[in-house]
Amino acid sequence: MKICGIELKSNNAIVSVIETSQTETSYINTKIKKFVLEDDEKIDSILKFKSEIESFLKEYNIEKIALKKRAKKGTFAGGAVTFKSEAIIQLNEVCEVSFITSQAITKYTKANEIILPNELNKYQEQAYLSSLLLV
């Protein structure tokens, strides 16, 4: 099964893809690492963002999305654009979306020895860890 982890930051959707089997999990080094919602007030930009994500999901045969959940209030609350991005991703017509909390990621990393792939960029780390929680 192929799982795409996604972390939303500002107007970016940062992605990381893994493939799992019964015996192992491997990182897939995709050419696309993030998607940008250029202007959240223009329908053309929103439709382009949705189309690019769905094309990516189809190209890599993604079966599940692990979307890192953002805080709704408080110091680390997500901005308005991330809420739009989240809705666009949830409305994808390719695969199901599961939400992963920061607390779940922290608990998982403390309980497991995580070796990050060499090809993984530092900014993709949370997306990668989110995807591991659906394995």
Can you name the residues that pair with 2 across neighbouring β-strands?
Answer: 19
The burial class, CB within 10 Å (0-12 / 13-18 / 19+), for 59 is exposed
Please tell me the pTM assigned to this model: 0.93
Domain ranges of the chain: 2-132
Q: In Å, what is the CA distance from 66 to each residue of 41, 45, 75, 129, 134?
A: 26, 23, 23, 9, 7
pLDDT digit string, tens, across residues 38-66: 999 999 999 999 999 999 999 999 999 99
Q: Output the pLDDT for position 76.
A: 62
Look up the CATH superfamily of 2-132.
Ribonuclease H-like superfamily/Ribonuclease H (3.30.420.10)
Residues in the chain: 135
Average pLDDT over residues 105-131: 96
Query: What's the pLDDT band for 129 if we cut at 50, 70, 90?
Result: very high
